[in-house]
Amino acid sequence: MVAYHFPPLAGSSGIQRTLRFVQQLPAFGWQPLVLTAHPRAYERCSPDLDAEVSADCVVRRAFALDTARHLAIAGRYVAAMARPDRWATWKFSAVREGLRMIREFKPDLIWSTYPIATAHVIGAELARRSGLPWVADFRDPMAQEGYPADPKTWQQFSAIEQSAMQHARLNIFTTPGAARMYGERYPDAASRITVIENGYDEDSFSGTDAAARESLNPGAITLLHSGIVYPSERDPTALFVALGRLKRAGKLLRGEVKLRFRAAVHDRLLNELAAANEVQELVEVLPPIPYRAALQEILQSDALMVMQGSGCNEQIPAKVYEYLRSGRPILGLTDPRGDTAAVLRNAGINAISNLASADDIERQLPSFVDAVRLGRAESSTLAAIQAASRQARTQTLAGHMEAVLRIQR
């Protein structure tokens, strides 16, 4: 399993997909071997998930540098050294280490996972040299219109996805929209494209207390966004404009409502938007906390916010599934036509406003807050919660890999 996101990396919910597959695949007859990057490549590390990797799991860490941090001079670096991503140096030692692992353990299959594109480069090369079947876990689309913005990086992304569509025995996406897009883009590979959504891990919630409902802000309704707020993909500008309008109209008052942003990364942007719209007293921007503490905070919130822009209509934030499991009311700030809105509606949640429309948010937010205060806001159905478990997702992955092996033999 070739994966950049793996403990002790901190600050990305993307780590959960690989970590939970690694934990749960043995129950379905598979023994994972993990090939990942040396922790020096991570911008931030935390030991809070280290104990969740079994002591008998083989984990090999290959030499890797972050071009932006390790190879820059006065903050500048050669762009070619950061293609297809800032961790391109990982490829060289990872291929060598991967081949050693193949000789030592004789695995049946290679699985690599985006969003660090270099992982697919490594997976493709290991498959080519070993003859083993390759499963490419894309999660989200790679080469899109206007993304990556750098034309040369876009070309490399396009080449990587073309290689996967041609050579991988299976290409996995996390949303129906992404799978549909790639089936249309690569019709010859359509039969080798499938969907395994992200999910939540029930064992992680066992360390939390769902009954602990001590208010995050006593006397106020707290709406929590837990995770990164991307400046373009999750542009919060319209939300803050709506907050400003509602405050001036007397519909959101100091001490009645708080919007909490936890581990947003782009804290400066949020604080600047709060100041520009004069809503500082309605907004909290707080630093990262350990994973289980973040889950506890989700359970303690009065309601949760999902943010996803229309440019990501074929993507669903991984945090959504933990939101669903929490049973808390959810406000979807997203394009109603996108996959994020669809997964919310399928879970019984209809409080959805377009993230790009201050008018939509201004209309929706007061009634949503009132519904939360009165205990009438919608939360996810039991059926949706059960379907989104990581155990169910892992069982699906195991079945797909067994099918790949049957074809290989």
Query: Can you give the pLDDT at residue 254?
Result: 78
- What average pLDDT does range 211-236 have in this prediction? 89
Tokens of 172: 């996995």
pLDDT tens digits for range 285-314: 999 999 889 999 999 999 999 999 999 999
pLDDT band at 407 (very low <50, low <70, confident <90, very high): confident
How far is Cα 409 from Cα 404, in angstroms, rounded to an integer?
Answer: 9
Give the angle subtended at the CA of 65 by the CAs of 292 and 86, to the nearest 5°.
85
pLDDT tens digits for range 50-88: 999 999 999 999 999 999 999 999 999 999 999 999 999
- What average pLDDT does range 99-122 have in this prediction? 97
pLDDT tens digits for range 227-244: 999 999 999 999 999 999
Report in angstroms the alpha-carbon separations of 184 from 2, 3, 165, 181, 190.
Answer: 27, 27, 12, 5, 8
- What average pLDDT does range 217-223 have in this prediction? 93
Query: Can you give the pLDDT at residue 211?
Result: 58
Tokens of 75: 């903050």
Domains along the chain?
15-199+390-408 (3.40.50.2000), 204-387 (3.40.50.2000)
* Locus of tokens 């290679």: 110
pLDDT band at 210 (very low <50, low <70, confident <90, very high): low
pLDDT band at 269 (very low <50, low <70, confident <90, very high): very high
Could you tell me if 21 and 197 are in contact, meaning their C-beta atoms sit under 8 angstroms apart?
no
The closest of 294, 278, 283, 270 to 223, measured between CA atoms, is 283
Query: Can you give the pLDDT at residue 212?
Result: 62
- What average pLDDT does range 139-152 have in this prediction? 92
The closest of 100, 135, 98, 128 to 18, measured between CA atoms, is 135
When the pLDDT of each residue in the chain is averaged and rounded to a whole number, the result is 94
Tokens of 5: 């996101």
